[in-house]
């Protein structure tokens, strides 16, 4: 964990009276650098998308997610949390067919985990019950199904190198989406 990240967590934990907006501001900064780091790590994993065109697949992104501007700030945090968690689970699956560097995948898992911890702190401390129950909302369920389809696809393709390349590209784009969601935290 780098120093900047530690500082931000300390700020969040030691000043529980700071306003919601300050936390979100820190979260946004932290999340956007974390997303970039994840994308950088994903780019270092081998596999050429142009070799895997016939394995492409439409995983049918939930329609609620397509219009992030309609989400409330609090709910966007849940969406991001769910995405990070599901992406984490995907990268714990068997990728031995890909020849990927295990150190890079491990770094990716650590990065995802740290970011989930930070989000969890905010979600736990700042949200009332009403907003917490949104974690079980239809949007989140649809999002879970989306990642479930990805897992099922990998399994059906027997974790082939090309299947992983397709998924790596899909998830790479997801981090750009997370950053777009994050921009709402500014308002
Ligand atoms: C992962 O897949 C490889 C190749 O298909 C297989 O040899 C290996 O046993 C699997 N590892 C695990 C932990 O399932
Ligand atoms: C895996 O990646 C790490 C970190 O980038 C690097 O130090 C290491 O040499 C790589 N290992 C292989 C086998 O390429
Ligand atoms: C839930 O979030 C909304 C803003 O989206 C806020 O107005 C409301 O007070 C929150 N409810 C609780 C119980 O914290
Ligand atoms: C993941 O990335 C794909 C490809 O860009 C995109 O269609 C999809 O909306 C993203 N999913 C999420 C949950 O952001």
Per-residue 3-state assignment (H helix, E strand, C coil) for 17-82: CCCHHHHHHHHHHHHHHHHHHHHHHHHCCCCCHHHCHHHCCCCCCCHHHHCHHHCCHHHHHHHHHH
Whether residue 15 is contained in a domain is answered as no
Per-residue pLDDT band for 29 (boundaries 50, 70, 90) equals confident
Q: Which domain holds residue 142?
A: 74-187
Give the tens place of pLDDT for each residue, 130-180: 677 777 888 899 999 999 999 999 999 999 999 999 999 999 999 998 988
Q: Is the pLDDT of residue 12 over 70?
A: no
Distance 63 CA to ligand 3 centre (A): 23
Whether residue 63 is contained in a domain is answered as no
Give me the CATH number covering residue 174.
Answer: 1.20.1250.10
Among 17-21, 45-49, 124-128, the range scoring the smallest mean pLDDT is 17-21
Whether residue 65 is contained in a domain is answered as no
pLDDT given for residue 17 in this prediction: 47
Ligand with smallest separation from the Cα of 133: 3
Ligand with smallest separation from the Cα of 147: 4
Residue 40 CB less than 6 A away from ligand 2: no
Report the C-alpha gap between 140 and 175 in whole angstroms: 17
Give the tens place of pLDDT for each residue, 85-98: 999 999 999 999 99
pLDDT given for residue 154 in this prediction: 98
Whether residue 140 is contained in a domain is answered as yes
Give the total number of structural domains in the chain: 1
Distance 94 CA to ligand 1 centre (A): 6
**pTM exceeds 0.75:** yes
Report the C-alpha gap between 147 and 91 in whole angstroms: 12
Whether residue 29 is contained in a domain is answered as no
* Ligand 1 atom 3, closest CA: 96
Whether residue 104 is contained in a domain is answered as yes
């Amino acid at each position: 964990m780098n120093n900047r990240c530690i500082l931000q967590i300390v700020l969040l934990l030691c000043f529980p009276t700071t306003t919601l907006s300050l936390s979100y501001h820190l979260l946004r900064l932290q999340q956007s650098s974390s997303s970039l780091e994840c994308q950088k790590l994903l780019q270092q994993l081998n596999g050429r998308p142009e070799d895997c065109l016939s394995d492409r697949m439409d995983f049918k992104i939930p329609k609620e997610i397509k219009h992030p501007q309609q989400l409330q700030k609090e709910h966007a945090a849940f969406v991001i949390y769910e995405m990070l968690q599901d992406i984490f689970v995907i990268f714990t699956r068997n990728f031995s067919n890909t020849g990927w560097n295990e150190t890079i995948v491990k770094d990716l898992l650590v990065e995802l985990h740290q970011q989930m911890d930070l989000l969890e702190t905010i979600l736990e401390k700042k949200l009332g019950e009403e907003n917490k129950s949104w974690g079980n909302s239809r949007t989140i369920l649809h999002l879970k199904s989306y990642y479930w389809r990805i897992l099922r696809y990998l399994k059906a393709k027997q974790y082939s190198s090309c299947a992983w390349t397709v998924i790596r590209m899909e998830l790479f784009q997801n981090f750009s989406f997370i950053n777009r969601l994050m921009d709402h935290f500014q308002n």
